[in-house]
């Protein structure tokens, strides 16, 4: 018997998550009742996929349920991807599935055997009513949770709809593998997701963009007609067999996020608390894992209570949420990436077949290049050969890339990072910059970028920012370029030219980022008279025609000096809310002349500057442009705007687009996460075919290899990891046992090219 007294538990919702929570809590000795508005045999959908991790948790918690499930599962290892009639198979993945109805039967039997009272065809009383009569109320009432809705003030839910429509159907035969197939129809691209869940049945999900769905007339079809039309579209995959539904309807996926999962003694579980797009796995899997964590938290609270006393239910619910939220958040990030990938599917169909398949398999970032190579080395090696890896010993990141007359020996870029290290406020780089950039050049990266180098004194962000507007500054940069080319031969050195615009005349970052200087300020200029931080930042002066001409000349003069210094590549900074970026965004450009209004006009001045720089920059040296592909704020730069901006610079001669995001307005709301800016680079690359540099929380060499092979980027800019480890690239080579020409250790460092042993090892 537990230390604390047994609880009276009410479970709202008789789906797998609610039933399994009921069984686990009853097994602990609690009195449990379940309310389910449907009949025992009612269910939506067909098959359920569970991971080995989830099954392991079930085995540890309840061997009876585990044994019953094990007798029902169908298992398979392969994923089939069909691209324009070509079938590609990747193995080693490992799936287990069973019918949803059979899963419910197993859980019904287990609950009944443990004394759970199951109330079918009975709507549950309101959560507030149950909360007054029961010690614990588990709301497992699904994506349309009435409990969540009635308690919205406490749970604070956010529901976000996707851009695709999908329908759950079934086929009366078992696919050999998890199958993804693309149909390019006259109305647009449609996709099939299918997997077996018994020896003679498969789940089949058909999905397409909302616009395609409407163009194809599916919005006018009932269940039977939808099933028949989908069976015809994917007739080859189905071997001419029909599809059937189960109260199936076209719907959009809704991502559910709640700020809180519990209030007093009421807790959300499964889809009521969170959802994750079906393309990365089963909502049932998440709900079952929730049930396991909730039962464990309740057991802990009961054990901690004094004998016979009431357990601390709110504390148990807080522990449950603390245990589950990180894993759920990770799953939702992966699911969001996967959902976006399928929403953007039309942009990938022109990829070569194997690259397309690799892209699909790694879309959520949970499966990576290194992970996929462990699962199926033959498939991964074939993708590497298609990519152009010189041999099996050369990872993708160490494959050269040519831009005009410059060949980069590998695909790693040290990001431009403001160092605020110019001494005496005169913009001249000193010994710090020599050591900082020199160390990263010795560290193996293919391209090392300077910080934003300002084209005029007024164009500086802070007094510590460097410039290229004096002969003394040029001499100092020449010293650095000479060191890189002499001591780190093969490393390219790039300069990023920019003007701070309305974000200038501020303190050093560590003294107060974006805070104005307490004294010694200089006047600010921008596209429009809009301060970066209203009430804090100075109001800039809107540039006149004469100002624009002068600034164009400043950029061109700096580019001439940069060429003379020996820089190998020049990047024009049109991102992060600085001057040129301020012209591009509708949030910061309110002009009414030829430089404001529609995007064509907002592009005018940045393109004029680009043309002025390109005209004086040596023809054989490449130029790139950094852009903010989204402002992370309503009304800002759209996804299509970003593509159009990149296309305009490409048409004017840009050799690559460095795709960053944000920092344009102070009230932005970025969606941070691993490689979070990469989808914007991906979209531009696959829409335009121009090389792109991906940047933003790319921190592992495995991610770099994955992004390159999937065709989402041509170069990867890695910033903070190079601050942590100047030799990040060389260490990435050592970790992958690569010793080729794309990552040579400097002669004085060769003795350290192997990781030192640690501890007793």
**Quick one: average pLDDT of 521-525?**
95
Give the rounded distance of the alpha carbon of 521 from its chain centre.
39
Q: Please report the pLDDT score of residue 172 as a whole number.
A: 95
Assign 3-class secondary structure to 462-506.
Answer: CCCCCECCCHHHHHHHHHHHHHHHHHCCCCEEEEEEECCHHHCCE
Assign 3-class secondary structure to 625-674.
Answer: EEEECCCCCCCCCCHHHHHHHHHHHHHCCCCEEEEECCCCCCCCCCCCCC
- Per residue in 325-346, pLDDT tens? 999 999 999 999 999 999 999 9
Give the C-alpha separation, 716 to 519, whole Å.
39
Greater model confidence, 455 or 512: 455
**Quick one: average pLDDT of 384-403?**
96
**Quick one: average pLDDT of 181-208?**
96
Q: How confident is the model at residue 2 (pLDDT cuts 50, 70, 90)?
A: low
Give the C-alpha separation, 374 to 128, whole Å.
51
Mean pLDDT, all residues of the chain: 94
User: Measuring CA to CA, how many Å separate 337 from each of 68, 82, 673, 677?
Assistant: 34, 21, 10, 11
**Quick one: average pLDDT of 117-132?**
95
Q: Please report the pLDDT score of residue 282 as a whole number.
A: 75
Q: Please report the pLDDT score of residue 676 as a whole number.
A: 87
Indicate whether 361 pLDDT > 50: yes
Indicate whether 758 pLDDT > 80: no
Q: Please report the pLDDT score of residue 481 as a whole number.
A: 98
**Quick one: average pLDDT of 128-143?**
96
Indicate whether 633 pLDDT > 80: yes
- Per residue in 150-163, pLDDT tens? 999 999 999 999 99
| 66 belongs to the catalytic site | no
Catalytic residue among 578, 595, 680, 738: 578
Give the C-alpha separation, 585 to 597, whole Å.
10
Greater model confidence, 58 or 563: 563
User: Measuring CA to CA, how many Å separate 424 from each of 427, 435, 567, 723?
Assistant: 8, 18, 24, 24
- Per residue in 237-291, pLDDT tens? 999 999 999 889 999 999 999 999 999 999 999 999 999 999 987 789 999 999 9
Q: Where are the alpha helices (DSSP H) in 159-312?
A: 210-215, 223-233, 283-304
Q: Please report the pLDDT score of residue 380 as a whole number.
A: 96
Give the C-alpha separation, 212 to 215, whole Å.
5
**What three-state secondary structure class fits 20?**
helix
Q: Please report the pLDDT score of residue 306 as a whole number.
A: 86
Indicate whether 693 pLDDT > 60: yes
Greater model confidence, 365 or 387: 387
Q: Please report the pLDDT score of residue 1 as a whole number.
A: 41
Percent of the chain with pLDDT over 90: 87
Indicate whether 579 pLDDT > 90: yes
**Sheet hosting strand 95-99, strand order edge to edge:** 47-50, 95-99, 74-76
Contact present, 180 and 83 (Cβ < 8 Å): no
- Per residue in 491-505, pLDDT tens? 999 999 999 999 999
Contact present, 68 and 52 (Cβ < 8 Å): no
Percent of the chain with pLDDT over 70: 99
239: phi > 0 → left, psi -120 to 50 → alpha, else beta; which?
left
Partners of residue 673 on adjacent β-strands: none
Give the C-alpha separation, 65 to 70, whole Å.
9
């Amino acid at each position: 018997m537990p230390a604390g007294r047994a609880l009276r538990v009410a479970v709202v919702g008789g789906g797998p998550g609610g039933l399994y929570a009921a069984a686990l809590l009853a097994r602990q000795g609690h009195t449990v009742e379940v309310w389910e508005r449907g009949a025992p045999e009612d269910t939506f959908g067909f098959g359920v996929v569970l991971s080995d991790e989830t099954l392991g948790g079930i085995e540890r918690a309840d061997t009876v349920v585990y044994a019953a499930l094990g007798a029902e599962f169908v298992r398979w290892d392969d994923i089939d991807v069909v691209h324009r009639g070509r079938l590609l198979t990747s193995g080693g993945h490992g799936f287990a599935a069973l019918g949803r109805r059979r899963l419910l039967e197993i859980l019904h039997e287990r609950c009944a055997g443990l004394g759970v009272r199951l109330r079918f065809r009975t709507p549950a009383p309101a959560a507030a009513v149950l909360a007054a009569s029961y010690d614990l109320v588990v709301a497992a009432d699904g994506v349309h949770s009435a409990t969540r809705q009635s308690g919205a003030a406490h749970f604070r839910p956010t529901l976000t709809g996707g851009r695709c429509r999908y329908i759950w159907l079934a086929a009366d035969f078992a696919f050999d593998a998890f199958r993804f197939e693309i149909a390019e129809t006259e109305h647009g691209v449609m996709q099939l997701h299918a997997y077996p869940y018994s020896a003679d049945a498969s789940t089949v999900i058909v999905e397409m963009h909302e616009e395609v769905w409407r163009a194809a007339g599916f919005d006018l079809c009932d269940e039977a007609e939808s099933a028949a039309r989908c069976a015809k579209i994917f007739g080859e995959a189905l071997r001419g067999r029909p599809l059937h539904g189960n109260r199936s309807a076209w719907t959009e996926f809704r991502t559910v996020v709640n700020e809180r999962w519990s209030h007093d003694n009421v807790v959300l579980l499964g889809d009521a608390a969170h959802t994750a797009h079906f393309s990365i796995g089963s909502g049932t899997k998440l709900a079952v894992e929730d049930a396991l964590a909730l039962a464990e938290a309740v057991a802990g609270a009961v054990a901690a209570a004094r004998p016979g006393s009431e357990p601390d239910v709110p504390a148990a619910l807080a522990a449950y949420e603390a245990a589950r939220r990180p894993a759920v958040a990770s799953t939702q990030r992966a699911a969001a990436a996967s959902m976006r990938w399928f929403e953007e599917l039309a942009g990938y169909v022109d990829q070569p077949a194997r690259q397309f398949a690799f892209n699909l398999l790694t879309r959520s970032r949970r499966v990576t290049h290194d992970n996929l190579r462990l699962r199926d080395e033959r498939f991964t090696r074939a993708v590497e050969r298609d990519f152009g890896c010189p041999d099996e010993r050369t990872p993708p990141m160490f494959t050269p890339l040519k831009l005009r007359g410059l060949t980069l020996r590998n695909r790693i870029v040290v990001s431009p990072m403001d160092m605020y290290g110019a001494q005496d406020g005169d913009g001249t780089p000193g010994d710090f910059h020599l050591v900082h950039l020199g160390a990263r050049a010795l560290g193996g990266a293919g391209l090392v970028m300077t910080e934003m180098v300002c084209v005029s004194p007024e164009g500086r962000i802070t007094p510590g920012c460097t410039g290229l507007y004096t002969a003394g500054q040029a001499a100092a940069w020449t010293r650095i370029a000479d060191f890189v080319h002499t001591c780190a031969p093969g490393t390219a050195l790039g300069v990023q030219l920019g003007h701070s615009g309305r974000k200038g005349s501020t303190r050093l970052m560590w003294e107060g980022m974006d805070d104005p200087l307490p004294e010694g300020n200089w006047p600010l200029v921008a596209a429009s008279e809009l301060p970066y931080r209203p009430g804090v930042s100075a109001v800039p002066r809107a540039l006149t025609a004469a100002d624009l001409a002068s600034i164009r000349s400043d950029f061109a003069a700096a580019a001439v000096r940069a060429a003379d210094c020996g820089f190998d590549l020049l990047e024009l900074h049109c991102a992060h809310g600085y001057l040129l970026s301020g012209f591009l965004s509708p949030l910061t450009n309110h002009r009414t002349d030829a430089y404001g209004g529609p995007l064509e006009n907002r592009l005018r001045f940045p393109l004029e500057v680009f043309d002025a720089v390109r005209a004086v920059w040596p023809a054989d040296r490449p130029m790139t442009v950094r852009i903010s592909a989204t402002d992370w704020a309503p009304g800002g730069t759209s996804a299509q705007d970003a593509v159009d901006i990149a296309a305009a610079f490409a048409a004017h001669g840009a050799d690559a687009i460095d795709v960053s995001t944000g920092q344009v307005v102070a009230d932005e709301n970025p969606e941070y996460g691993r490689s979070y800016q990469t989808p914007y680079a991906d979209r531009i690359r696959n829409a335009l075919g121009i090389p792109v540099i991906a940047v933003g929380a790319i921190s592992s060499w495995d991610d770099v290899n994955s992004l390159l092979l999937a065709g989402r980027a041509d170069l990867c800019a890695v910033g903070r990891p190079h601050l942590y480890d100047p030799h990040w690239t060389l260490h990435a080579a050592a970790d992958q046992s690569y010793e080729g020409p794309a990552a040579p250790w400097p002669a004085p460092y060769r003795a350290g090219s192997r990781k030192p042993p640690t501890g007793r090892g």
